Structure 1
Amino acid sequence: MTTDFKDTRTAGNHAARKNRQKKERYDVVVCGGGLAGFCAAVASARQGAKTCLVQDRPVFGGNSSSEVRVTPHGAAAFHVYAKETGIISELLIEERARNHETVFENGWTNSVWDMTMYDLAQRTENLTFYLNTSILDVRMSNERKIASVVGYVANAEIELELEADVFVDCTGDGIVADRAGCEWRMGSEGRQEFGEPHAPLEASGDVMGSSIHFKTKDIGYPVPFTAPDWVAKLDNPDFFYKQGRNPNDLRGGYWWIEIGVPWHTIYESEDIRHELTRYVLGIWDWIKNKDPLTKELAVNHAMDWIGQVPGKRESRRIMGQYLMTEHDPLNNTVFEDEIAYGGWFLDLHTPGGLLAPTSEHASSEGYDETSAYMVKSYCGPYGIPLRSTIAKDVDNLMMAGRNISVTHAALGTVRVMATTALVGQAVGTAAAIALRKGLALADVPSQAIQEVKQTLLRDGCFLLNTTNEDELDLARCAQVTASSQAACHGAEVRADLQASGERGPQDDFLRQRKGQWMAISEGVLNRVSVCLSNWSDSPQIVEARIIPVDHIWDYRSEANPAIASVELRIMPGKYQWIDWDVHLDETTGLKSGSYVRLDLLANPHIVWHCSDGIVPGQTCAYEMGEGKMRRDWNGPTRSFRVEPPQYAYRPEHIINGVTRPYRYTNLWRSDPRESLPQWVELRWEDLQSIQQIEITFPGSLLWEYRGYAPLYRDPQCPKDYRIEAFVGGDWQQLLEVKENYQRHCRYTLEQPVQTAKLRVVIEATNGDPSAAIYEIRCYQE
């Protein structure tokens, strides 16, 4: 019996081993399912490439997932209207509409986000995915080409071999590139190599560390916490309050719970994880039981969640066709192969994290936005080239995420997740286009870059130096009219604050120069007025200037020579409207269809009041130093009036090729005094055959992700609308949409419609009184 049993098991094991080996072939294989890899895979599949996405965790999202819970950051954290769009925007808008949870900071991501990504993966045609699957090996067909990657599916005991024409390494650590023999860098370049301002004097192996986060909950009654014996013993207030580690929010989410050096962030990641756990509990012990500033406030707070997967910031960086240095974001280098943009500051954490004197330089300064360090670190929005995502040593390998071809200093800004998501979408798009056109990856930047860029724009992305030039877009040759258009008279102050005489929450004294962008449509500006308060007992003088600027992120204090200047005399008193007769027109340098910036120079006795709302596309900034300005607060509109009113939201903007405020407002907006429905119409001289209609609405652009509330639907975004065509002498409804909240919408008609007139009729928004659209595109198929 015993012999028979062994023989049976042996035979069974041979069969099982055979079943555990699985081989599949795809056009594109993306390794790594963080935001970069996820967006790369979805983009590749949407472009028609048979795509496989491999993720080593049970959920998508990488550091943004519910396992790690790092809030996705990007350019909009520092630049108004710089929110990343495309696939990442589609996901984040959906998550906010579905999720009941407030987004605070690290530690607050829940499984609604995981399922939002999982749902999109399930619904994406041409996409296969494997979760819980680690890449173990790479098999080469020759020294410059990957034949397949080999992975292991945990909990299923399956060895998985995936063959493909193109591979994309989004593993963070660059596992595929390393196994394929690519050159990579890890550590900090010395300053002499590239002359980077943020580089250390000497090169080293130092990298930024990893973090785990925690979340607490106020349960309404006292709850004790007793720290285990093995946690870190933290008893010195200076460790926190003098070293940039302020435990200022009892909810948790501290990015500075970070450790890297002296541990290796790849090979000793588990050691880092255990050390971080010691410190998380030690930090909570300090907050809960020891800190005189927090322990009374924390009486009712209980630990709700502690991460056990370190969020890694830096390891290998794979060398590509181009190596970005920090000079590129600082100087806004214009790349012919620009495929994404960034705008986070040059955020380089101290390699030792908690084990170093400070965890990050800006935090040790108390986040002084006007310090010399912050002035030299503020950058963007800037472009990112495709060449930094194409491996130089392997012909069929691309990268997306924190492992692309950048220096350590440049990684400080490129590494944040919303930026890497844009790069991922561009890489997936470029890979699919290369396969469709039969091009080598190395030739795409020179031979197919226009198609890549135009495809990204059509798919909802934004590029700093590219507009819609799609020859197949029928809307571009149409005449555009609308039922009405909004006029900008300016921005009024809050009536309740004016009545009380108190300052509003964003009403700063003019300790620095402040500027308000104003959109000019008429080529004539006769009068400008501002609402000011003089809090002193004597008359004050404020110098005012009107300066043409190139776009809303033109932060040069002296962007161009002023076309008007004056000294305004402000008498003591609150909420005074001060008039300035400027009498500007095109002969004096005023240009229609552009921005000017109204600057008030510093006077610490004067308050320039904010308005009672945000005027679309018209924002403000303040001078941070060294001739550079930066976004003021979260991008409000300061009070101003203009005469004559500026019609800055004309209907023809929907075909000008730009889908957000940039060099102008680029938005059609109906007159808010006229009730809905409102419509915008495209008209052609000849009949057009139209089957595909694509619309970009406003919404979810102003702030970054965490600026939006639970179950949020942007008020500016149209909710209920219909698309109509003029056929046989009458308007016929082609389709009707209810309860929309997405920004970028595509519709394919069952049959093409033959028409010379098409219109979008907006019946209701999600709260705004005006109907509004950034772009309409029309295609034959």
Structure 2
Amino acid sequence: MNKKFEDYQIVVCGGGMAGFSAAVAAARQGKKTCLIQNRPVFGGNCSSEIGVTIHGAAAFHAYARETGIISELLIEERAINHAEIYENGWINSVWDMVMYDMAVKEELLTFYLNTEVVNVVLTPNNKTIKSVVANIQNAETELTINGEVFIDCTGDGVIADMAGCEWRMGSEGRDEFNEVHAPEKASGDVMGNSIHFRAKDMGKPVPFKAPDWAVKHEDPAYFYEQGRIPKEKRGGYWWIEIGVPFHTIYDNETIRHELTRHTLGIWDWMKNHDPIMKEQTKNYALDWIGQVPGKRESRRIMGEYLITENDIQNKTVFDDEVGFGGWFVDLHTPGGLLAQHAEASAATEGEEYNTFNEYMVKSYCGPYGFPLRSLIAKDVTNLMMAGRNISATHAALGTLRVMGTTAVMGQAVGVAASVAINKNMPLKNVPKDAISEVQQQLLRDGCFLPNYKNQDPLDFARTAVITSSSNEKLIGVGPESKGMHNGLAIWKDQPQYHNEVLETKKGQIIAIGNTKLQTISVCLTNTSNEEQFVEAWIFPIQHIWDYRVIPGASIANTVLKVPTGENIWVDWHVDLNESNGLLDNQYIRLDLGVNENIKWKEAGCIVPGHTAMYQIGETKMRRYYNGNTLSFKVFPEQDCFKASNVINGVTRPYQYTNVWMSDANQPLEQWIKLSWDEAKEVELIELTFPGHLLREYHAYAPFYKDPQCPKDYEILGLDNGKWKKLLTVKDNYQRQRKHKLTKKIKLNELKIIIKSTNGDTRACIYEVRVY
């Protein structure tokens, strides 16, 4: 056997979204990095081999898309991929190649595909990893990879296990942490593995005969009464899942075979027996069946901190916060297809996703932050982890395990490991002694942290005076309003509460950019034949994900009179100002109470940063529909899209709109300008634009380029009284761009001119940084 020995600073094992993001982040921080992946493609569960589509916080929260490396990848994939993303099974090789292209372009990143780690070599004290030993499949080559920091992103915690780390597997009992979703008694139960299938429309009837060894499915109750509804003829069923009584690691091949038997049997049921589906599938042929099971859960490595569901539900604020999540607490029935009921039966009432269901109410959570300590192994000095093997309880893993969240974890550990090496610091000291440096680098690289913002002292933009050619004022929108949403849809499997009737309390978030609000109006339809009344409140709120039914003391409340008729604008003279609780640069929420004779009309467009919500439980509200805006008007107009937003340190709607938008009534070109009293020696300009924030990845069409994202722009600098063109960019569609100038230049002013966008009539920028 050929033997090779190589030395790196950071070694990442596992090339799923967590490992890939960790390796790219480390390489971008200037560290010689090696990524080892045991499959022929990157992506893990989201590769074309397995086909699980990437989910994250934006499935349940407006403007909650994960950003950073994961955003860069997904924006690129949508811009160049011809394929619709429906659900599981609908990942093609374009995605594989987008990831491969990024890996190849990272100069300090070396990667080995088709390579399995078979051993871990420890130092004599058994507390530090010296190297990992791996075999390259079909190459008869053994690699010994030495490193300073190792990152376990294998999913199954393979490296940590071989290194002797403590780990958990199974479900904690209720008595240990008093978690809402924990079972009464602890057990070894974990969520199962899945494979997926895809069907293709052939344009004419296509027969199907299952092999004799396929499972025979003949009972409609197994599907329609037990939460396994085959509602989509193309495939994409998460519930083709098996776990208990099998071991999700050791019995992986047995599970794969059993899942294959069931998949063929399920397609046979749909094609030949199901009275609902056989007509819909008559022209469809089975096109692909995955043969690599996607895992949800196995080993969880014990770290410096164990995240519990209580941290998730209470949105614990951690000093060492390095990322966020927001998927619901999604705990699948351990047996999957072998259990009496699929998760959907108990949790979501037959996969109809009733958001008022008790399970869905208690499972709706986030967005929440998570700590770096949960990504540092406690038993080995130089081991970190990211992905579904992190230090979390079974219940907490129900929300942390989705790939949008694990990608954020990966980027965090890649940066943290680099900081530890830079400072020659033990990993366990980073959360206390170097966390600000980690957080500020993550923010600079496009990530979002709910409780931290840009405070980089090296960023010249933070001290600049910001002006613009124009800026949009908030007046309001109605049912007739139009917006730029071409190609932006919804994820069809998403809980779709879309009811304008005030059958439950609803709230509309509104940004204040003035110290006065005299009148607020709502567009209502009274479906009865007599005047109706509805209670109304105005609350200051913490941010757009403040889902408390009563978020604090109201600063105004009244009862509105609603005459009969459709689309009636009802005015409320609130006369709010600083003296009675209205503050500039804040969000308020306008709530209307219950009256089933009244509809609160949805706006015909979405105002950036202005989402709505509705009440689902006694104390909890939830995002309305897919981040849509309800009709409202304000007087006077609110200056909430001002130029100064680009240096407030946050790059998405959160505690405020945080975006500069030019006046839609003025034609492009539009510009934003930074001015300093003393000239700055400038070498690097970093820009963050709108793009792919509002909704889940699934909502974005093939070849999608976000209309709000600037397409063509120029950057000019004022040097000794003369404007110089520093650079020109054409055909942009990425959210974050970093521009290094050919040489340093002293500037008193810097101007960014947006010449065109990918569709919107306004120029928009979230952040400008200058170094």
TM-score class, shorter-chain normalisation, is over 0.9
Q: Give how far 1:730 is off.
A: 2.0
Q: Give how far 1:70 is off.
A: 0.4
Q: Give how far 1:495 is off.
A: 6.9
1:14 aligns with none
* Pairing 1:628-647 to 2, within 5 Å after superposition: 628-647=620-639
Is contact 1:258–1:359 with CA below 8 Å preserved after alignment?
no
1:241 aligns with 224
Greater shift, 487-496 or 734-743, is seen at 487-496
1:324 aligns with 307
Note if 1:25 corresponds to 2:18. no
1:124 aligns with 106
Structure 1, residues 216-243: CA drift from partner, whole Å, max 9, x if none?
Answer: 1111110011111111111111111111
1:411 aligns with 397
Note if 1:575 corresponds to 2:567. yes
Q: Tell me the distance in 1 between the aligned counterparts of 2:239 and 2:528.
A: 42
Q: Give how far 1:728 is off.
A: 3.0
* Pairing 1:560-599 to 2, within 5 Å after superposition: 560-599=552-591
Q: Give how far 1:538 is off.
A: 2.0
Q: Tell me the distance in 1 between the aligned counterparts of 2:61 and 2:713.
A: 31
2:456 partner SS: coil
1:428 partner SS: helix
Q: Tell me the distance in 2 between the aligned counterparts of 1:216 and 1:601.
A: 46
1:353 partner SS: coil
User: Alignment partner for residue 347 of structure 2, among 362, 376, 399?
Assistant: 362
2:511 aligns with 519
Q: Tell me the distance in 2 between the aligned counterparts of 1:285 and 1:646.
A: 59
Q: Tell me the distance in 2 between the aligned counterparts of 1:488 and 1:441.
A: 47
Note if 1:470 corresponds to 2:462. no
Note if 1:38 corresponds to 2:38. no
Q: Tell me the distance in 1 between the aligned counterparts of 2:499 and 2:121.
A: 61
User: Alignment partner for residue 160 of structure 1, among 143, 158, 179?
Assistant: 143
2:278 partner SS: coil
User: Alignment partner for residue 488 of structure 1, among 474, 483, 493?
Assistant: 474
Q: Tell me the distance in 1 between the aligned counterparts of 2:480 and 2:158.
A: 56
2:762 partner SS: coil
Q: Tell me the distance in 2 between the aligned counterparts of 1:536 and 1:219.
A: 50
Q: Give how far 1:507 is off.
A: 4.9
Structure 2 counterpart of 1:518, one-letter code: I
Percent identical among aligned pairs is: 59
Structure 1, residues 103-127: CA drift from partner, whole Å, max 9, x if none?
Answer: 1111100000000000000001210
2:234 aligns with 251
Q: Tell me the distance in 1 between the aligned counterparts of 2:497 and 2:321.
A: 39
2:658 aligns with 666
1:91 aligns with 73
1:584 partner SS: strand
Is contact 1:187–1:315 with CA below 8 Å preserved after alignment?
yes
Structure 1, residues 289-343: CA drift from partner, whole Å, max 9, x if none?
Answer: 1010111111111111111100000000000000000001100000000000000
Q: Give how far 1:430 is off.
A: 0.3
Structure 1, residues 121-178: CA drift from partner, whole Å, max 9, x if none?
Answer: 0001210000000111101113100111111110111111101010000000000000
Q: Tell me the distance in 2 between the aligned counterparts of 1:720 and 1:507.
A: 39
Is contact 1:225–1:288 with CA below 8 Å preserved after alignment?
yes
Structure 1, residues 429-459: CA drift from partner, whole Å, max 9, x if none?
Answer: 0001100110000100011000000000000
Structure 1, residues 178-202: CA drift from partner, whole Å, max 9, x if none?
Answer: 0000000000011101111101111
2:384 partner SS: strand
Q: Tell me the distance in 2 between the aligned counterparts of 1:243 and 1:92.
A: 34
Structure 1, residues 59-100: CA drift from partner, whole Å, max 9, x if none?
Answer: 000000000000100000000001000000000000000100
2:493 aligns with none
Is contact 1:245–1:363 with CA below 8 Å preserved after alignment?
no
Is contact 1:533–1:573 with CA below 8 Å preserved after alignment?
yes
Q: Tell me the distance in 1 between the aligned counterparts of 2:270 and 2:722.
A: 70
User: Alignment partner for residue 92 of structure 2, among 86, 95, 110?
Assistant: 110
1:500 aligns with none
User: Alignment partner for residue 67 of structure 1, among 31, 39, 49?
Assistant: 49
2:152 aligns with 169
User: Alignment partner for residue 620 of structure 1, among 612, 623, 638?
Assistant: 612
Q: Give how far 1:506 is off.
A: 4.3
Note if 1:226 corresponds to 2:209. yes
Is contact 2:689–2:767 with CA below 8 Å preserved after alignment?
yes
Structure 1, residues 542-581: CA drift from partner, whole Å, max 9, x if none?
Answer: 1111111010000001001111111112122111111111
2:671 aligns with 679
Structure 2 counterpart of 1:394, one-letter code: V
Q: Tell me the distance in 2 between the aligned counterparts of 1:219 and 1:483.
A: 54
Is contact 2:348–2:357 with CA below 8 Å preserved after alignment?
no
Note if 1:341 corresponds to 2:324. yes
Structure 1, residues 271-292: CA drift from partner, whole Å, max 9, x if none?
Answer: 0000000111111111111010
Is contact 1:595–1:664 with CA below 8 Å preserved after alignment?
yes
Q: Tell me the distance in 2 between the aligned counterparts of 1:383 and 1:420.
A: 13
Q: Tell me the distance in 1 between the aligned counterparts of 2:521 and 2:348.
A: 38
Structure 1 counterpart of 2:9, one-letter code: D
Is contact 1:242–1:364 with CA below 8 Å preserved after alignment?
no
2:487 aligns with none
Note if 1:608 corresponds to 2:600. yes
1:33 partner SS: coil
Structure 1, residues 203-222: CA drift from partner, whole Å, max 9, x if none?
Answer: 11000000001111111110
> Relative to structure 1, is the Cα distance of residues 495 and 383 closer, same or farther in structure 2, using a 3 angstrom cutoff?
closer
2:365 aligns with 379
Note if 1:286 corresponds to 2:269. yes
2:517 partner SS: strand
1:451 partner SS: helix
2:282 aligns with 299
Structure 1, residues 711-742: CA drift from partner, whole Å, max 9, x if none?
Answer: 00000000000000012322110000000000
Structure 2 counterpart of 1:82, one-letter code: A
Is contact 1:507–1:609 with CA below 8 Å preserved after alignment?
no
Is contact 1:211–1:258 with CA below 8 Å preserved after alignment?
yes
2:714 aligns with 722
Q: Tell me the distance in 2 between the aligned counterparts of 1:601 and 1:108.
A: 41
Q: Tell me the distance in 2 between the aligned counterparts of 1:703 and 1:475.
A: 29
Q: Tell me the distance in 2 between the aligned counterparts of 1:373 and 1:363.
A: 7
1:427 partner SS: helix
Structure 1, residues 596-617: CA drift from partner, whole Å, max 9, x if none?
Answer: 0011111111111111111010
Structure 1, residues 598-653: CA drift from partner, whole Å, max 9, x if none?
Answer: 11111111111111111010100000012100001101111000000101001011
Is contact 1:358–1:364 with CA below 8 Å preserved after alignment?
no
Q: Tell me the distance in 2 between the aligned counterparts of 1:605 and 1:247.
A: 36
User: Alignment partner for residue 416 of structure 2, among 430, 433, 436?
Assistant: 430
Note if 1:401 corresponds to 2:387. yes
Greater shift, 576-585 or 397-406, is seen at 576-585
Is contact 2:709–2:735 with CA below 8 Å preserved after alignment?
yes
Is contact 2:348–2:360 with CA below 8 Å preserved after alignment?
no
Q: Tell me the distance in 2 between the aligned counterparts of 1:299 and 1:628.
A: 44
Q: Tell me the distance in 2 between the aligned counterparts of 1:601 and 1:235.
A: 48
Is contact 1:243–1:364 with CA below 8 Å preserved after alignment?
no
Runs of 4 or more consecutive aligned structure 1 residues displaced over 4 Å after TM superposition: 504-507
2:134 aligns with 151
Q: Could you tell me which runs of 5 or more consecutive residues in structure 2 were left unpaired when the two chains were aligned.
A: 483-495
2:489 aligns with none
Q: Tell me the distance in 1 between the aligned counterparts of 2:358 and 2:172.
A: 22
Note if 1:140 corresponds to 2:122. yes
Q: Tell me the distance in 2 between the aligned counterparts of 1:373 and 1:429.
A: 37
Structure 2 counterpart of 1:115, one-letter code: M
Q: Could you tell me which runs of 5 or more consecutive residues in structure 1 were left unpaired when the two chains were aligned.
A: 1-16, 497-503
Note if 1:392 corresponds to 2:416. no
Name the Cα RMSD after superposition. 1.1
Structure 1, residues 365-390: CA drift from partner, whole Å, max 9, x if none?
Answer: 53211111111111000011000000
Q: Tell me the distance in 2 between the aligned counterparts of 1:551 and 1:358.
A: 38
Q: Give how far 1:463 is off.
A: 0.3
Q: Tell me the distance in 2 between the aligned counterparts of 1:562 and 1:485.
A: 30
